[in-house]
Structure 1
């Protein structure tokens, strides 16, 4: 790999790259503070929002423009943008009147942070859908497990089709359905001759690929592939196509494509392959598809669509064309439709250039929203008392949670919970007292989103935003005290919403082992004391439980057999404190 760069400061690199996008496409603007590229004001339509870590250009920021994305949010190199960045994009940078579709690749950080922003927007009354793309055949079912396939270059098919359909005035329901249809019928795989060097980082210590060796199934964030082997280009392409098309391979047969199907081919440059060599690679792929699989693609796209910095490799994506069910809006027509985005093949029109500067810079909008009042009433003194009891208990057990997480994780769980609790206490000192439950809950949500980071922070924030949405959905028509039945319905819907963003289930050794029995018991009995004890029992039963998700999966040793999952334990203690506070 090459560690030589013209710009070595990764922060400066990402910032200047984002600032360059409006220079090449006058129809877009840059919110540099939040790393958002978005379209200038235009006719109302369903807004398409995507994004991810920087380093995949032209995905996603250079796909913003008429006929493609309405907005894209960038993180640092290979790291998901924060939920706050995404929320600001959805609520302040793209039109919301016709609804918003968020398309994200299947990586834990992206799914959680984009998902948190989606739930936040829904809690504000915005109609938002989300499609998660997992098209990588390099990750088989056995290895992918509950996490599933990674999202790679086939995602651009979903973005292009959704963007073109939205531009034609389709409803959010239809745009979401067709986007999911394309995602379900796409399969991809990548390979590379080398890992990449990220500016600002030390040279990696892992062994570099040897001369003539290729890594098959390599991800777009420098992740290792499924195998390394010495082979030539024909042998490599044969293996990649076999992984994508061999229906006998039960571990990787995700899309049943045959010679009878219409197929779209994308040969994508991971960043470091010359256009000349990519042409030779494309020809090899097309010939093998015809000779070995009797497949003649009806559309062929070759070029740089989704990179891994300067990755010395390429990926192959195959899309099985399916019926959209919409007249004059077939998948092929939508792929062929013009798009004025600097990262897409269509050129920016002369009329767009002549309008440069006509639209004045939009004024910065406020980043905080006033919460709409609700008809759910709560005794503010009792609510503060119960919350104080819960937070004090979390702070008291921080040493235990930290100790457990030091054994099975990275040691930050207890500190994160304590930081969140202390921040909520500070909020309670200044927040205006209110008997409106949703105003009270929103004050807590705002603190959690800012003060708690990491995976647990994202999970708490998603759940609480979904809870706010569930409470609003079940609110009575006139002002009334919140009932156990309303709580139960809202909590059940929150648990269901959380399931969209994490595959965790009871038995996976996560905080779900405490959350699930709490909600189910509360729904059944209406008794928070019984429910909190069920949560405590669930947390204790994680002792000795082998983890299926989270960082514990990668931690060796036998320590996990002696301690509960720290996240589950911390949540159970919080709920026990809440129950005790309600008794006083």
Structure 2
């Protein structure tokens, strides 16, 4: 497994040094992997947390005003020692609350450090977070429920209570109550790999682990991958059932990525979690998605739900200036049970419904089906020299066209081309959408001005060339479209045009690209046909057959 490290044994101190350099007012405790605030207001309760490293941004990323006053970092997935925890308590030098995840090593080392601190005459309390609802709370065989990403919400509550000037007893009670209320459940798509080590488990392409901890260990069961909404519903249902969350309750939602999950997927999860809670009659007061407590490079997600009242919500909302906390976000735009607000934008009129049912409809349907059937083939071609999204984009455009067939007069070729252009423009982003839309509009304008139908392909090609700046020989779709236009103008046969396009597309395999993403590859693109040119062939074959 490739890692951006120097040496495994130096990964933790070097990473912590990097965090310290960009954390205002913070400093490392000499001789220990401990980050503390040197700018904190003295005389107030200090909140300290920590555990094994590999969970970034937790916990050093939460050191800052309104959140943590100190973070104690062990080796990757290993609890820090007693002396390091004691050094943090001494460094903050005020009444201290330790917030610890429920793992044996953390409980023992933080607990003994708290005992030693009290023996020195220091006020020190400790609470543990055991928010993992995947495990039975009464199971006396395991070490108990594990601490998961809900811990981040607990430290936020504690940090805000401390910043408000509450006593150690009051801060401890606020944190303990939040820890008792929060519930979290997660799943993994891929395992975690520690620096210099190997993956903790292996998964097949269609396998996932349900109900797992944060140290690369497997979950409580293995299942087949399902659509995101199904998985989110299971996580939310399990947490709600365990925590007794139901209609009339108020919660905050934390969707946590475990290290390698893209923000897009986390937002998809957040969307469904909020919707599902709304369907249950639960009021979602705040919601966030992001990587808050990772498992190095694990692909996966957890959903944490924390019930709130006015006081706890005020603590969640209180300002916090730490690198890992998403200040200024999380406020929902409306009740979870209502649709997301939308704004009407003035624009073109909706096409009038038509009743054309003849050749144009059959042709449009045939082309749409052909494009959708070719999605995988086009994706494979595009992935070889581009970004791999052409098949998906064109399939999405084809679906939009098929959905809009009843919105225009399909007896009118010009109106049909404009309808297709509008559907493609709306459905396909990037460069493909505007290029295809302008091709269709140029063809429509050509026909509207009484131009020859046999010259419509040339008008479409010229439109693409004018807008995109490509020419023949640049290894683009024009290298299929222009030969097709020549053949159609010469013979009037769409079959001849499709054959010419196929020859042109084949020729792109020997061309050096000068436009588009493949232009960055230079001669490395040799041997691969241009995906856009191949798409032209597919469309023209479908037109010829229809």
**TM-score, normalisation: structure 1:** 0.54
Match of 2:250 in 1: 262
Match of 2:207 in 1: 213
Query: Does residue 233 of structure 2 align to residue 238 of structure 1?
Result: yes
Which of 275, 298, 319 is residue 338 of structure 1 equivalent to?
319
Cα deviation for residue 146 of structure 1 reads 6.3
Partner of 1:243, secondary structure, is helix
Match of 2:192 in 1: 196
Cα deviation for residue 203 of structure 1 reads 5.1
1:62-77 residue pairs with structure 2 within 5 A?
Answer: 62-77=61-76
Query: Does residue 2 of structure 2 align to residue 4 of structure 1?
Result: yes
Partner of 2:222, secondary structure, is strand
Cα deviation for residue 113 of structure 1 reads 0.3
Match of 1:397 in 2: none
* Higher RCO (Cα < 8 Å, 6 or more apart): 1
Match of 2:307 in 1: 320
Q: Deviations over 1:192-235 (max 9, x none)?
A: 1111111111455x5x1111211111110012111111122122
Match of 2:428 in 1: none
Query: Does residue 268 of structure 2 align to residue 287 of structure 1?
Result: no
Against the structure 1 CA distance between its residues 244 and 111, is the aligned structure 2 distance closer, same or farther, given a 3 Å change threshold? same
Provide the C-alpha distance between the structure 2 equivalents of 1:289 and 1:32, rounded to a whole number of angstroms.
Answer: 47
Q: Deviations over 1:385-426 (max 9, x none)?
A: xxxxxxxxxxxxxxxxxxxxxxxxxxxxxxxxxxxxxxxxxx
Provide the C-alpha distance between the structure 1 equivalents of 2:250 and 2:140, rounded to a whole number of angstroms.
Answer: 28
Asked if the contact 1:270–1:309 (Cα under 8 Å) also holds between the matched residues in 2, the reply is: yes
1:141-220 residue pairs with structure 2 within 5 A?
Answer: 141=137, 143=139, 145=141, 147-202=143-198, 206=201, 208-220=202-214
Query: Does residue 259 of structure 2 align to residue 271 of structure 1?
Result: yes
Asked if the contact 2:248–2:283 (Cα under 8 Å) also holds between the matched residues in 1, the reply is: no
**RMSD after superposition:** 1.6
Cα deviation for residue 10 of structure 1 reads 2.4
Asked if the contact 2:26–2:39 (Cα under 8 Å) also holds between the matched residues in 1, the reply is: no
Match of 1:352 in 2: none
Cα deviation for residue 145 of structure 1 reads 4.3
Which of 36, 43, 54 is residue 34 of structure 2 equivalent to?
36
Mean alpha-carbon deviation: is it higher for 330-339 or for 112-121?
Answer: 330-339
Cα deviation for residue 258 of structure 1 reads 1.3
Provide the C-alpha distance between the structure 1 equivalents of 2:309 and 2:176, rounded to a whole number of angstroms.
Answer: 11
Provide the C-alpha distance between the structure 2 equivalents of 1:142 and 1:102, rounded to a whole number of angstroms.
Answer: 25
Match of 2:16 in 1: 18
Asked if the contact 2:40–2:69 (Cα under 8 Å) also holds between the matched residues in 1, the reply is: no
Match of 2:298 in 1: 311
Q: Deviations over 1:500-552 (max 9, x none)?
A: xxxxxxxxxxxxxxxxxxxxxxxxxxxxxxxxxxxxxxxxxxxxxxxxxxxxx
Cα deviation for residue 21 of structure 1 reads 1.4
Match of 2:335 in 1: none
Asked if the contact 1:237–1:285 (Cα under 8 Å) also holds between the matched residues in 2, the reply is: yes
Asked if the contact 1:264–1:300 (Cα under 8 Å) also holds between the matched residues in 2, the reply is: yes
Against the structure 1 CA distance between its residues 24 and 346, is the aligned structure 2 distance closer, same or farther, given a 3 Å change threshold? farther
Q: Deviations over 1:548-578 (max 9, x none)?
A: xxxxxxxxxxxxxxxxxxxxxxxxxxxxxxx
Provide the C-alpha distance between the structure 2 equivalents of 1:305 and 1:25, rounded to a whole number of angstroms.
Answer: 17
Asked if the contact 1:181–1:322 (Cα under 8 Å) also holds between the matched residues in 2, the reply is: no
Cα deviation for residue 56 of structure 1 reads 0.5
Match of 2:418 in 1: none
Provide the C-alpha distance between the structure 1 equivalents of 2:274 and 2:316, rounded to a whole number of angstroms.
Answer: 19
Q: Deviation above 3 Å: which 4+ runs of structure 1?
A: 141-146
Match of 1:89 in 2: 88
Cα deviation for residue 266 of structure 1 reads 0.6
Query: Does residue 131 of structure 2 align to residue 135 of structure 1?
Result: yes
1:244-255 residue pairs with structure 2 within 5 A?
Answer: 244-246=239-241, 253=242, 255=243
Partner of 2:284, secondary structure, is coil
1:380-399 residue pairs with structure 2 within 5 A?
Answer: none
Asked if the contact 1:193–1:312 (Cα under 8 Å) also holds between the matched residues in 2, the reply is: yes
Which protein is bigger by CA-based radius of gyration? 2
Partner of 1:147, secondary structure, is coil
Asked if the contact 1:8–1:199 (Cα under 8 Å) also holds between the matched residues in 2, the reply is: no
Partner of 1:191, secondary structure, is strand
Q: Deviations over 1:278-297 (max 9, x none)?
A: 11121122222223x22231
Aligned length in residues:
326
Mean alpha-carbon deviation: is it higher for 275-284 or for 171-180?
Answer: 275-284
Asked if the contact 2:85–2:113 (Cα under 8 Å) also holds between the matched residues in 1, the reply is: yes
Provide the C-alpha distance between the structure 1 equivalents of 2:6 and 2:191, rounded to a whole number of angstroms.
Answer: 18
Provide the C-alpha distance between the structure 2 equivalents of 1:238 and 1:285, rounded to a whole number of angstroms.
Answer: 7
Against the structure 1 CA distance between its residues 203 and 62, is the aligned structure 2 distance closer, same or farther, given a 3 Å change threshold? closer
**TM-score, normalisation: structure 2:** 0.58
Provide the C-alpha distance between the structure 1 equivalents of 2:319 and 2:66, rounded to a whole number of angstroms.
Answer: 6
Any gaps of 5 or more consecutive residues in structure 2?
329-546
